[in-house]
A and B are shown apart, each in its own frame.
Chain A
């Protein structure tokens, strides 16, 4: 009401006279549809900007979906193929590390949105190993290789013992001994045998009076492949995960089986480096800081006096509950050339009981996680947000290549796989990492003997494959 009074009548008239006539015709007018006219130039600009923004998102999302669907369809046949019930599907190992200065969720999103989808369609099994802290993936990989070495050594020892027992003299002696076994001991042996023969399959109805099925051993598909390179696979999501994987393989194959006894000043640097650098660098984690404090009084500037904001209420509890930092590497990259490859790991290495080829035989795939951080990067972030389909294509294609096993031997250049991601790493974080001797910011070093065993999945090779598939 007040507004109407404020406008002088002549101004109102002027406004209505500037209004364009718009489009109308007698039929519209008869139906009561008012004249169609464009809104004012400002409104036009506004709707154009909003519309373009939304359309860009929608288009990008739709393209992403289309691309993922395309690569899923390439592998779909493999997922639908017949598989015996005693066979377990090919199993991939996925290592996920968060991008620097961000949370694990960022990398997990890449895995869930683009990679997992394709693997799911292909009917593959996977094991995801995630870790927020640096060094844990390296330790895990190294530990798996070392466990394999231990198992191989144990199996060889057992074989040797069995051979010894088979010798005629021993057999004679044991036969002699068996004669003297008391009734009690016989009973005990029988009980042991009975216990060993019992399996839970004997309780299940499917195996009732179905001896062949019950005796059937369950096999991994990985164990049955001729060429160990075609078994399983390793996916590293994030350049950091890749660096740790390579370091872990070297540590496992070249390093000793047991942790070396370190001089007291050596571990301090390493454990400080293993500190949680994936978190915001200016907030050192209290537990790691406390650890460093315990071991090295000269590093007291990382004191728990400036704890994580989440842990302000109970810093003591957190430092007790937080897991210990991962063990320092058993060997440093500079020592690689002076160490010898362990005896067990020559040729086609498989686990003695499961016959699955060793981790380093399995093909390797690296998926970079580009992640910008900082306010000034906003324009680049927006650009990437609208062109995410290219990244989605890269990921889905890589996953499909992993499924279809387009493999080539590892070349020294492949140490730079996913290096594009390093451009995005925050400069301050990298500087801080250098100070603390973080594994991530150092140059990746490799030994030619270890590299010779590795194979990588090359999505570029799949382009030819897809082209031939389309032609047929």
Chain B
């Protein structure tokens, strides 16, 4: 990434966006899988019970908050690492 010309930059940006999209999909499917298997356990009705609904709300919020915090830390660590390596 030291000296990219503008065409390479566009290419790089595209790759980055693809990666992010991929990571987003991974996050999303992890969240759905996790919260579904943890919260939804009553299959006698086609609707979610209120208990299941609050559970899913809490589960997804916790999951997202956790990912946000870890993401922030990840970014920080990387920035520090880059700085120490002189980029």
Count A/B pairs, Cβ under 8 Å.
Answer: 68
Report whether A203 and B20 are in contact in the complex, using a CB–CB cutoff of 8 Å. Answer: yes
Q: Mark B26-43, 1 if CB is under 8 A from A, else 0.
A: 111000000000000000
B3 touches A191 (CB 8 A): yes
Contact of A204 among B23, B65, B76, B87 (CB under 8 A): B23
Q: Which residues on the B side are within 8 Å of A206 (C-beta)?
A: 24, 27, 64, 67-68, 71
Chain A interface, number of residues (Cβ within 8 angstroms): 21
Which of B6, B74, B76 has a CB less than 8 Å from the CB of A187? B6
Taking the complex as formed, is A20 at the interface, i.e. its CB lies under 8 A from any CB of chain B? no
Give A188-217 interface residues, CB cut-off 8 Å to B.
Answer: 188, 190-191, 194-195, 198-208, 213
User: B interface, by DSSP: helix, strand, loop or mixed?
Assistant: helix
Query: A86 on the interface (CB 8 Å rule)?
Result: yes
A195 CB contact (under 8 Å) in B1, B25, B26, B28:
B1
20 examples of A-B residue contacts, CB within 8 angstroms: A85-B68, A190-B6, A190-B9, A191-B4, A194-B4, A195-B2, A195-B4, A195-B87, A200-B74, A200-B78, A200-B79, A202-B17, A204-B71, A204-B74, A205-B25, A205-B26, A206-B67, A206-B68, A207-B71, A218-B72
Query: Which residues of chain B are within 8 angstroms of A198 by Cβ–Cβ distance?
Result: 1, 16
Q: How far is B87's CA from A463's CA once the two chains are assembled, in angstroms?
A: 52
State in angstroms the CA–CA spacing of A361 and B64 once bound together: 36
What distance in Å separates the Cβ of B17 from its nearest Cβ neighbour in chain A? 8
Query: Within A157-207, which residues are at the interface with B (CB < 8 Å)?
Result: 187-188, 190-191, 194-195, 198-207
Please give the residue numbers on chain B whose beta carbons come within 8 Å of chain A beta carbons, in ascending order: 1-6, 9, 16-17, 19-28, 64-65, 67-69, 71-72, 74-76, 78-79, 87
Contacts of B26 in A (CB 8 A): 205
Which residue of the partner chain, among A85, A187, A201, contacts B65 with CB atoms under 8 Å? A85
Contacts of A205 in B (CB 8 A): 20-28, 67
Interchain CB contact under 8 A, B19 and A203 = yes
Q: Which residues of B contact A204 (CB under 8 A)?
A: 20, 23, 67, 71, 74-75
